[in-house]
Amino acid sequence: MRLLDVGAKMKQQFSPSATALLYDRHAAQMYRTALAVLGNTQDAEDAVQDVFISYMRTLPQFTDENHEKAWFLRSVVNRSRDLLRRRSIRSHFSLEEATDLPADTKEDVSALFEALSQLPEKYRTVLVLHALEGFSVEETANILNAGVSAVKMRLARAREKMKILLKEEI
Amino acid sequence: MSQRYADAYRSILPPDSLREKVLSTSDVPATQNNKGRIVMFRRFACLAACLAVVAAGVFVSGQKPQLQVNNEILSSVPAAASVPFAARRSMTQPVGLVLTTDSRTELSVQGGTMNIFSTDTQLLFENVTQCEVDADCIILLQPDAANNTVLQVNGRGLPAAYTLFADENGNYTLTRE
């Protein structure tokens, strides 16, 4: 009975155009984050799709756009972590089939993702959200449901490791 | 992290096929919709299976052997309580008991013998002091005149002993030990 109710709610409130709007607003960040955590394009696509399905099932109410963005990012990080645990994915980045990037950009992306794959997942995720996606430390902490000090510590360690891995000043 | 890497990272976009997949998900009628629904169904299925196992366990464990005389279930009377019956009969006459069971049940008797009949009156065991049955049966207990007669019933690991007494008036009493 409960499932039917959820279905009816979905049909009423979740139109394809609403899906498209949400997708355009959040999918790129979600996909990149999932790709950085999981290391392969197929799993990243699965993670993003699963989050949208979850959204359509539960239709959470958001107070504002930041709340909405944080929900989608948090969900995709959690889903990616689930997939990582369940499939024992060894992160190795292969972007050949997924991107139409120019050659030099592709080279940078490959180097970056190769370095990210050497980091523990908890360092990788904070670095991606803060340094690459541009979230503040507080927003990153909120997305990851972690403390601000923990995020700062992980960021510092992630930066140190990336500095060595990318052989550059970060 | 250098801007070069950040820019390269942000140039990554999801493939168009993903957009189509997500959008097609929202077109599908809710009842056929998604993996989450399957997961939910599996959870309910697991829960139902667990409940069925528990219910079966409770039901089966409730089917312990029952011994009846004169329509009274002896195994349900409190331990050490007596059930008088079959007044004015000789101690050497057989005593009829009904055993209700659906599992392997060991029967043994001391101070007498027994004949076991199926519920359709087929003789299963004749003048034995011990046997095993796995279905309802009728026990004709033949006491020795000189001894108290003790019938032991052991099914589903729940042993019970019943002692048959006769008073001076010829009344029987079965006492559950």
Least confident of A74-88, A119-133, B150-164: B150-164
pLDDT at B148: 76
**B79 vs A66: which has the higher pLDDT:** A66
pLDDT at B88 over 70: no
Q: What mean pLDDT is predicted for residues B106-129?
A: 86
Contacts of A126 (CB under 8 A, 6+ apart): A140, A144, A151, A154, A155, A158
- Cα–Cα separations (whole angstroms), residue B42 to A7, A70, B37, B47, B109: 18, 29, 9, 8, 52
Q: What mean pLDDT is predicted for residues B89-110?
A: 77
3-state secondary structure of A10: helix
pLDDT at B53: 59
pLDDT band at B1 (very low <50, low <70, confident <90, very high): low
Q: Any idea where the domains of chain B sit in the sequence?
A: 3-61, 66-176
CATH architecture type of domain A1-89: Orthogonal Bundle (1.10)
pLDDT at B103: 81
* Chain A residues in contact with B29 (beta carbon < 8 A): 7, 11
**A147 vs A61: which has the higher pLDDT:** A147
pLDDT digits (tens, 9 = 90+) for A112-166: 888 998 999 889 999 999 999 999 999 999 999 899 999 999 999 999 999 888 8
Is the domain defined by B66-176 classed in CATH 2.60.40?
A: yes
Quick one: what percent of chain B has pLDDT higher than 70? 56
pLDDT digits (tens, 9 = 90+) for A10-59: 444 556 677 788 899 999 999 999 999 988 888 899 999 999 988 888 88
pLDDT digits (tens, 9 = 90+) for B32-63: 445 555 555 555 565 566 556 555 554 444 45
Distance CA A37, CA A39 (A): 6
* Chain A residues in contact with B11 (beta carbon < 8 A): 101, 105, 109
Q: What mean pLDDT is predicted for residues A74-95?
A: 77
pLDDT at A108 over 90: no
> Is A23 an 8 Å CB contact of chain B?
yes
CATH of A102-170 among 3.40.50.720, 1.10.287.1080, 2.60.120.10, 1.10.10.10: 1.10.10.10
CA closest to B26 among chain A residues: A16
Contact A16 B26 (CB under 8 A): yes
CA closest to B11 among chain A residues: A101
Across chain B, the runs of DSSP E, i.e. the strands, are 66-69, 72-73, 82-85, 95-100, 105-110, 112-118, 123-128, 130-133, 137-143, 149-155, 158-166, 172-176
pLDDT band at B87 (very low <50, low <70, confident <90, very high): very low
Chains A and B form CB pairs within 8 A to the count of 114
Q: Any idea where the domains of chain A sit in the sequence?
A: 1-89, 102-170
Structure tokens given for B40: 């939910």
The ipTM assigned to this model is 0.81
